[in-house]
Amino acid sequence: MRELAMVKTMRDSLQTLLLHHHLNEVARGFFKAVRLGNFAEAKSRMSATWQVVPADELSEMIRNDLALLSLSTATHFGLVMDDGVRAVLDTYLYFEGGHWLSCGVSLAQEQGCWGVDTVNLLREDWSPERLQAKSVVE
């Protein structure tokens, strides 16, 4: 009986890992499309709620409200939390010169597919480099 419980735990852990990998790939594809200016592809990576917005309106919204997305040069994904229908990814956008911004990405599962639902850029005044530089001075 104990072995069956262990197998179930391992299976659940593997399913969670695979889901989180899939969510990272959906978000990665979205950011890549935005950087390339391919808003039709970016839209295809978004939730069903966004599918009714024409691609040109979406591109204008992103360019006006989230202009930093297309200026970033790299993306790193951190912690993923999900409840099976909604998920949140901690995301970090990197820019030339070593600057970075924290970004919260939420995804929604609608009609059996996961898509980006919201993107929130967070202004950070902290970075690991500053912490290391500060501690050396002290």
Q: Any idea what the CATH number is for the domain that residue 57 is in? A: 3.10.450.50
- pLDDT tens, position by position, 5-48: 766 676 777 888 899 999 999 999 999 999 999 999 999 999 99
Give me the helices (H) in the chain, please. 2-36, 39-44, 55-65, 67-71, 128-137
- pLDDT tens, position by position, 103-114: 899 999 998 899
- Give the residue numbers spanning the domain of 40: 2-137
**DSSP at 3:** H
Distance of alpha carbon 134 from alpha carbon 138, whole angstroms: 6
With beta carbons less than 8 A apart as the criterion, state whether 63 and 126 touch.
no
Supply the pTM of this predicted model: 0.79
Give me the helices (H) in 45-137, please. 55-65, 67-71, 128-137
What is the tally of structural domains in the chain? 1
Distance of alpha carbon 106 from alpha carbon 58, whole angstroms: 17
Distance of alpha carbon 78 from alpha carbon 113, whole angstroms: 21
With beta carbons less than 8 A apart as the criterion, state whether 101 and 76 touch.
no
